Every structure is written in C-alpha cells, then in structure tokens.
C-alpha cells in the first residue's frame, strides 16, 4: 500500500515539475580589439522547424567579458524535441549595431550535442581564405602620415594602429597625400582589411592594419559623424563612384542618386542625371538584388548615355551591400565593389 502511495506521489511530482535544458559553447573573433562594457554579447537559440525563426532561449553578457565568450543558454525542455530543427546565432551589439556575428545550424540536435566554438566576423563581409584568417572587415578611421609612418585611429574602437605598407597600401597612401588638408593632418578613410602581427622597427612584432583593398577617403567628415550607420532604405544615396571611377559631378543638372523606397513596396528609383530609372529590389539579410530598371526615354548626351547603361548593369549584378557610417558599397557575387554611394540628408 505504501509503495502505491509513493509511486502515485512520484508520478504527480514528475508531471508538475518543470525541467530546463541547456546549451553551452564559446564564441570569439580574431581581431585584437578590446570592446567596452557598453557592448553586449548575445547567444540566441532559434527553432527553425517551420521555415521560421522562433527564439526559444538566449544568453547575454558584457562585451568586455571576451573574447572568447563562454555562454550557456537555458530553455524549457518542451521547446526542443528530436523532431525539431534548430539554429544558433552569436553576436556582439555595440552602439545599436551588429559589430560581430556568427551563426550555425545545429544538425542532429538534441540527439547529438554539438561542440560549439563559433568565430564571429563583421556582418556582410565575405572574406577570402587568407583574409578569413585575419577576420577581414571594413575598417574606417582617421589616417595620418608623417615621417614615412602611416597611423590609423579606428572610429569604432578608438584604437590606434600602424598601417602595414603592403597589399593595397600604395593606393591608400596616394589618396591620403592627394586629399589631406595639410601635411600630417588626419583624413577619414575606409578600407577593407584586418589586423595581423608584423615586424616593428624596434622591439617585438606589433599588430598592424593590413590593407587588402582601399575603398575611399572623405575629407569633409570625422569619426564622430560616422559612428551611426545610415539606413539602406528610404535614404537618398548620392552616387560617388561607379566601377572604381569617381563619378563626374559636372555632367548633369540632376544629381546622380539611388533610393530604395518602402512607402509603395520594395521599389527603387535612380538616375545618373538623365533618365529616371525605376525598378524593384529584394532584401535578404546583408544581400540585395535589383530588377532591371524601366526608365524614361530621353536621349542622353555622352558620356551620360554610357554611364546610365553602366549603372543599370552594375545594379543588375549587385548581390551584396555594406554600410559603414554614411558610405554604401554595392558589390557583385565575387565581392567586387560596383558602386559606392554617400548618404545625403536634406
């Protein structure tokens, strides 16, 4: 009799007790940049079983706790089943933006518990194999050059680095010498690259900025103005460079620009200063695609006619976008920048 009572009580307790599951792992990034406590590290577990993304648990911690960041996500047992499909995302949020991120699908989870060690990179950056070893990304900052030494103060971290004179550095130096206000004056520059140890003039090896691709300078701005990224949509983007060449500013009375609108759906409008171009666009995370443009049929004088066709082709072959401050870079599937634009506020 007592055994029956005990068994009955055990069944009641088992039916009402709440069990919790856990998923643990680590995440890191390769850049040797210490983030401030104001940054937030997050690890989020999603249920993606029904072609949807439903959050079922998360971990949050201070940005200065890593890298590496160790995390444990707690969740209710009944939210994870053997029949489900799950994904994990880790990210560092800083100044209301995704500074670093990584994600993975958890194959066979929870039947098999994975060993999770994610390496985060800047969202939207698809580096080469060599660049991936450094965690390449867009880097923006104030550059100075004096006494054969190039220095960069990064806008995001505030850290100061020597710029290694390799890779695409000659293009960066040439642009700096051309666009600086005076010898030794700081100049805002954007480049694609990363950080790596290089031999120093004296002492041990030092961490330096490696320039894989020079992007642009902007003599009229400073880091303070570029801390917040412009929005891709509903922003007037002035066309500054097309296929690596500065767009001539004196060819047309109408300023060359692009706008991705949301008021009437996902449509864009653009011009190089002659015909008005309209079409549709599709957004998918850090990817964007443009439909062929319909346009008015005015006869455009050269070289506007050729530039208009060139811009239309560049849009049709765009697959990725990157935004750094007020700069928008549209790139094709090979990662080659096709157009560089600047946010203009009226």
Can you give the pLDDT at residue 136? 59
pLDDT on residue 310: 95
Residue 226 CB neighbour total at 10 angstroms: 21
Instruction: Count Cβ atoms within 10 A of the Cβ of residue 50 and give its class: 0-12 exposed, 13-18 middle, 19 or more buried.
Output: exposed
Q: Is the peptide bond before 284 cis (omega within 30 degrees of 0)?
A: no
- The pLDDT assigned to 51 comes to 66
Query: Which residue is associated with the tokens 């902007």?
Result: 218
Closest of 179, 174, 129, 139 to residue 159, by C-alpha: 139
Report pLDDT for 317.
96
Q: What pLDDT sits at residue 252?
A: 64
What pLDDT, on a 0 to 100 scale, did the predictor assign at position 11?
Answer: 44
126 within 8 A of 135, measured Cβ to Cβ: no
> How many Cα atoms sit within 13 Å of 259 on the Cβ side?
14
Q: Report the alpha-carbon angle 76-82-83, nearest 5.
A: 110
pLDDT of residue 33: 67
In the prediction, which pLDDT does 14 show? 41
Mean pLDDT by 10 residues, the chain (346 residues): 43 43 90 75 91 87 89 92 90 76 87 90 50 65 92 88 92 96 95 84 81 93 86 96 88 86 90 93 92 88 90 95 93 93 89
Can you give the pLDDT at residue 311?
96
Judging by DSSP bridges, how do beta strands 187-198 and 206-217 pair with one another?
antiparallel
């Amino acid at each position: 009799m007592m055994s029956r009572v005990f068994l009955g009580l055990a069944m009641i307790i088992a039916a009402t007790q709440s069990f919790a599951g856990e998923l643990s792992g680590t995440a890191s990034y390769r850049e040797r940049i210490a983030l401030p406590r104001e940054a937030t590290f997050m690890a989020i577990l999603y249920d993606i079983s029904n072609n949807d993304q439903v959050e079922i648990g998360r971990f949050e911690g201070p940005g200065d706790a890593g890298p590496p960041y160790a995390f444990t996500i707690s969740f209710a047992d009944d939210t994870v089943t053997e029949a489900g499909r799950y994904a994990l995302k880790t990210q560092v949020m800083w100044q209301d933006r995704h500074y670093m991120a990584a994600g993975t699908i958890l194959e066979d989870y929870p039947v098999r518990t994975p060993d999770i060690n994610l390496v985060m990179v800047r969202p939207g950056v698809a580096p080469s194999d060599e660049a991936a070893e450094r965690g390449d990304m867009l880097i923006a900052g104030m550059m100075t050059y004096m006494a054969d030494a190039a220095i960069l103060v990064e806008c995001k971290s505030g850290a100061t680095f020597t710029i290694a004179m390799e890779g695409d550095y000659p293009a960066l130096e040439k642009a700096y010498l051309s666009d600086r206000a005076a010898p030794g004056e700081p100049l805002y520059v954007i480049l694609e690259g990363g950080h790596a140890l290089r031999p120093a003039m004296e002492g041990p090896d030092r961490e330096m900025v490696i320039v894989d691709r020079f992007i642009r300078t902007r003599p009229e701005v400073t880091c303070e103005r570029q801390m917040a990224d412009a929005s891709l949509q509903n922003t007037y983007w002035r066309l500054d460079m097309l296929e690596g060449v500065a767009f001539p500013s004196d060819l047309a009375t109408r300023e060359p620009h692009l706008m991705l609108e949301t008021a009437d759906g996902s449509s864009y409008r653009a011009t190089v200063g002659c015909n008005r171009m309209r079409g549709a666009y599709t957004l998918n995370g850090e990817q964007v695609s443009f439909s062929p443009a319909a346009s008015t049929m005015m006869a455009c004088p050269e070289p506007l006619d050729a530039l208009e066709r060139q811009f239309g082709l560049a849009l049709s072959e765009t697959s990725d976008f990157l935004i750094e401050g007020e700069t928008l870079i549209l790139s094709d599937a090979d990662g080659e920048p096709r157009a560089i634009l600047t946010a203009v506020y009226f």
